[in-house]
Structure 1
């Protein structure tokens, strides 16, 4: 077992049995085990195929090009509106994984074939996303804020644009922008960890786990 994966699994307080089982199923499909983005990641000829990760309410398989899968069993979930290519299969208990094992393998094998075929995903560019007029107004009034927004990664910008543009009422859009201005100025995305412990700002290096371990 990859030593980093072993450390990851041994450190889990929840979902250890479920993710250990998912790991076994994935390895039966002939993928190589690596550790990327602080999670077990499984590759074929250097190409990312699937990753396992844990959340408070569920654990999941994440297919890097899941949007291209046929999803014959209607299992795939788009984690957030801003995620264009990856898709999850979520689990909440071990029996569910046992029951879906044949299907999980089918999805993994299909994901491998998609990667081998060289299929690409046509992603929307940041310029394709609507900029709410409320945000444009604030940009014109606050050039430093506009500069901070433009300095964010493209993915972080898209996440905010979707979040700000979703409400129908202008006052709600303005409220969302105001609530996130400090995050944007500090370089954080909408869903970035802001525990204050990370040495890899604005990304999280898992330092917040220290807080969980003190509970």
Structure 2
């Protein structure tokens, strides 16, 4: 039978670093952040926005900054734990209490809070909206088509528009529209059969 500590996920080593994490907590308690528990561990928020979290891993304990990408990091403390996955998150790792420098940590957290107040976040890349004049004409003539099209998620609408509008020639666009009209009316997404 699995013991309860097995499913703590990223906090499964927190007991190993109990004193160290309490030290980090005592430092963070001096800031204006509010402690909450998310994903089974302490996460500190400002105005409901995640600013920092702490946790113990196998070989180190860490404080992470949810929007650490914006920190100046003059002391070169922060690492991107998962290069491709996390755009914003940065970790500051420690292997002993001696490495914990309260003054530096408070400086970093103050900067993180300031960034939060300024609303610095990485916005997800937005796709350019595509307009299809031809499809709009068809929808103007055919209300059922318009209604059917509007039932699709924005993503699926985008797939249709992209498919029509990436055709170079007008006649290809028209033939593509002829192909997708029955699909739209039948409420079938462009790539549903491949999903």
Partners of 1:71 and 1:91 in 2: how far apart?
16
Quote the offset at 1:40 in angstroms. 0.2
The equivalent residue for 1:203 is: none
Partners of 2:60 and 2:125 in 1: how far apart?
29
Q: 1:95 aligns with which of 84, 98, 102?
A: 98
| 1:93–1:38 Cα change, 3 Å | same
TM-score, length-scaled by structure 1: 0.51
Q: Is the 8 Å Cα contact of residues 25 and 105 (structure 1) preserved in structure 2?
A: yes
Which structure 2 residues correspond to residues 113-124 of structure 1 after superposition, within 5 A? 113-123=114-124
Between the two proteins, the alignment pairs up a number of residues equal to 116
Partners of 2:15 and 2:103 in 1: how far apart?
27
The equivalent residue for 1:67 is: 69
Q: Is the 8 Å Cα contact of residues 51 and 113 (structure 2) preserved in structure 1?
A: yes
Q: Is the 8 Å Cα contact of residues 19 and 52 (structure 1) preserved in structure 2?
A: yes
Partners of 1:104 and 1:22 in 2: how far apart?
9
CA offset digits 1:78-130 (Å, max 9, x no partner): 00122110000000001111xx11010000000000000011214568xxxxx
| 1:86–1:12 Cα change, 3 Å | closer
Partners of 2:99 and 2:77 in 1: how far apart?
12
Name the SS for the 1:71 alignment partner: coil
The equivalent residue for 1:112 is: 113
CA offset digits 1:175-203 (Å, max 9, x no partner): xxxxxxxxxxxxxxxxxxxxxxxxxxxxx
Structure with greater Cα Rg: 2
CA offset digits 1:48-83 (Å, max 9, x no partner): 110001100001001000000000100001001221
The equivalent residue for 2:87 is: 84
Partners of 2:48 and 2:124 in 1: how far apart?
22
Give the alignment's Cα RMSD to 1 decimal: 2.2
Partners of 2:59 and 2:124 in 1: how far apart?
29
Q: Is the 8 Å Cα contact of residues 51 and 116 (structure 2) preserved in structure 1?
A: yes
Partners of 1:84 and 1:70 in 2: how far apart?
15
Q: 1:26 aligns with which of 18, 25, 28?
A: 28
**Alignment of 1:41 onto 2:34:** no
Quote the offset at 1:44 in angstroms. 1.1
Partners of 2:112 and 2:54 in 1: how far apart?
15
Structure 1 consecutive aligned stretches of length 4 or more whose deviation exceeds 3 Å: 122-125
Unaligned runs of 5+ in 2: 1-7, 127-195
Partners of 2:111 and 2:55 in 1: how far apart?
20
Quote the offset at 1:13 in angstroms. 2.9
CA offset digits 1:146-185 (Å, max 9, x no partner): xxxxxxxxxxxxxxxxxxxxxxxxxxxxxxxxxxxxxxxx
